Structure 1
Amino acid sequence: MQLDILMIEDEPNIAEAVRFILSREGWRVGHHADGAGGIEAIRAARPRLVILDLMLPNRSGAEILDELRDTADADLAATPVLMLTARGQSPDSGTRADAVLAKPFENDDLRAMVRRMLR
């Protein structure tokens, strides 16, 4: 079964909340907990959408996003990415993400953004 969404997020509380919110909408949500192996998790899951935290242990979300966008696999490189940032934090690769959402965020804002990105 293909995942709708793969979330790469190291904060357990945020990861659980996002998974709960989006699963209730009917989306299949997978989770990877740190930057190490992040691109491999994306390659393996081939999700319709990646939710990627900017600040991750072992490898930043910006590095993962750059590698995703630069991959030779055109379908994978085109995967939509929603970058999560701490409020006031500017992602280095923000222009390569399809959307950016600042934490903390409203549940309705997350749902609406994911809905738009998965159309």
Structure 2
Amino acid sequence: MTDAISSVLSQIRAHEMRMKGMADVASSPGIAPTAGGAPAGVGGTQGGGFGTAMSNAIDNVSRVQSDAGELQRAFELGDPKADLARVMVAMQQSQVAFRATVEVRNRLVQAYQDVMNMPI
């Protein structure tokens, strides 16, 4: 289980590094710092941000699950390109992606509940 978590964390870090590289290359006004030191668009109404990242992550999980399902069906139908090892790896990848998404959802719900229970 810890290997799966380490794998997911390394994938997240790799994705962050790729996104940082893209942000450095792109000279977008949406990522320029403001007078307060926070990037423009943080807490604003501009597109992107956390909501878009979560939507993309959920779409990616859905795509991984459908790909694994298609590979499983191909194996069941006897397609020679779909060997058992590829099917098992695809199914495990989809399972890890789904578990990671559920864990993020659980953490967000817990954070929301903590904020809502804070005294004013």
- TM bucket, shorter chain: under 0.3
> Which has the higher relative contact order, 1 or 2, with Cα contacts under 8 A spaced 6 or more apart?
1
- Which has more helix, going by share of residues? 2
Q: TM-score, normalised by structure 2?
A: 0.27
Q: TM-score, normalised by structure 1?
A: 0.27
Query: Which is greater in Rg?
Result: 2
- Which has more strand, going by share of residues? 1
